[in-house]
Amino acid sequence: MLLVFILAAGLWGVGYLAGVSRTARMTSVGVLLLGVITAQLVLPDGHPLRQATGGSAAMWLILGGFAVLVLVYGRVLKALRNRATPATKEPAMPSGHFSETELERYARHIVLRELGGPGQKKMKQARVLVIGAGGLGAPALQYLAAAGVGTIGVIDDDEVENANLQRQVIHRDADIGMPKVFSAQQAMQAQNPNVIVLPYHRRLTEEIAQDLFADFDLILDGTDNFDTRYLANRTAVALGKPLISGALSQWEGQLSVFDPAHNAPCYQCIFPEAPAPGLAPSCSEAGVIGPLPGVVGSMMAVEAIKVITGAGQALRGEMLIYDALYGESRKITLSRRADCPICGK
């Protein structure tokens, strides 16, 4: 047995001195171990070679199995770390500069009088965080990436489920079981490799919200629970960040830009407290028509582009309500509340 360890150490040392790669050295040691196991299984009892290499295959099989488990564990751990760590590489072109491919890609934006080259440059330099990669987040993320927003963060702790695919079109059937942020990242970078996507596979909490929001210029809230909505609103107001919020129910959707820094109300001005249980059922409870999140999520992406570039008039102090069942839309005026605990005086 000692002989085998000496041979393995010799192979490793000689390979190291010769500059052989770590993978090749591990392969050579593995071949040696495989040869020892074969000798133990094939040669008769009492054979000198069997005696010199331990006399039993069981011990080597256990050792080999343990080594395989360690290697597999290491590779899986490395893969998980790579997926969990947001990409930090810089774009191919410096911020504010465009390659020929990008100029061609964004040509329909650049010819728009309200955007032009300066507007597209602002989008490339912008950093937008989307909370939720579900019904509203999916189309918002797709269109922000396609439009050329330079850095897009997405935070969500859910995994893709079969029931999501009726409306969350950024995900595919093959993505079932994958964390939504990584599925969305793959789709966005396949759509536009010129943007940086930062996935955060975790729930938005009080402990991380402040530091996370501080790293972005604009926040989009596509969540479906009031606790997260109020947290996003508190944090955005505290940091002076505009918050674009959308909501869905059955056939109806709504969205607004909450931005007290520009004299618009915040979310809690309009919704001072969460409704009683049962009054605002979730999509899983009340249902939602599949294309509706696409309509409202795309509108959120449009509002984001308007806020970033200054084009047109964003929905500050207004709420757009869309009724898909009857094909109607209307806007209502929203006002700040002086007694709002979040943005009031």
Q: Where a domain ends, among 56, 83, 110? A: 83
SS3 288: strand
66 within some domain: yes
Q: Based on the fold, state whether residues 78 and 109 are members of the same structural domain.
A: no
Assigned domain for 342 exists: no
**Does 107 map to a domain?**
yes
Residue tagged 């909370």 (tokens): 131
In this structure, the answer to whether residues 121 and 44 fall within a common structural domain is no
Query: Distance between CA atoms of 15 and 156, rounded to whole angstroms?
Result: 46
Report the alpha-carbon angle 279-219-200, nearest 5: 95
What CATH code is carried by the domain that includes residue 216? 3.40.50.720
Q: Evaluate whether residue 88 is within a structural domain.
A: no
Q: Containing domain of residue 34, as a range?
A: 2-83
Residues 74, 215 within the same domain = no
What six digits make up the tokens of 59? 């011990």
Task: Say if residue 68 is in the same domain as residue 212.
Answer: no
Is residue 341 in some structural domain? Answer: no
**Nearest to 252, CA basis, from 219, 293, 223:** 293
Determine the pLDDT at residue 203.
Answer: 95
The reported pLDDT for the residue numbered 274 is 84
Among 164, 288, 280, 167, CA closest to 226? 280
Shared-domain flag, residues 52 and 114: no
Read out DSSP for 218-235? EEEE--S-HHHHHHHHHH
3-class SS of residue 252 = strand
pLDDT at 167: 93
Residues 66 and 111 reside in one and the same domain: no
CA separation for the pair 124, 47 (Å, rounded): 72
40 and 152: one domain?
A: no
Structure tokens at 140: 């918002």
Structure pTM? 0.72
Output the pLDDT for position 271. Answer: 92
Q: Is residue 254 part of a domain?
A: yes
- Is residue 207 located within the same domain as residue 65? no
Please state the domain count of the chain: 2
Q: In this predicted structure, what is the pLDDT of residue 187? A: 96
Task: Tell me: do 56 and 179 sit in the same domain.
Answer: no
Question: From its phi and psi, is residue 328 left (phi > 0), alpha (psi between -120 and 50) or beta?
Answer: beta
C-alpha–C-alpha distance, residues 308 and 306, integer Å: 5
Domain end residue (candidates: 59, 83, 107): 83
Q: What is the full per-residue pLDDT of the chain (345 aa) written as tens digits?
A: 566 667 666 765 666 666 656 666 677 767 767 776 776 677 677 677 666 666 666 666 677 667 767 677 767 766 666 565 554 444 445 566 889 999 999 999 999 999 999 999 999 999 999 999 999 999 999 999 999 999 999 999 999 999 999 999 999 999 999 999 999 999 999 999 999 999 999 999 999 999 999 999 999 999 988 999 999 999 999 999 999 999 998 999 999 999 999 999 999 999 998 877 766 666 667 789 999 999 999 999 999 999 999 999 999 999 999 999 999 999 999 999 999 999 987
Say yes or no: 11 and 138 in one domain: no
Is residue 344 a part of any domain in this protein?
no
Q: Are residues 21 and 160 in the same domain?
A: no
Are residues 251 and 307 both part of a single domain? yes
Q: What dihedral do alpha carbons 99, 102, 108, 111 form, nearest 10°? A: -20
User: Is residue 134, in this structure, part of any structural domain at all?
Assistant: yes
Of 53, 83, 113, the one marking the end of a domain is 83
Q: Token digits for 93?
A: 């072109």
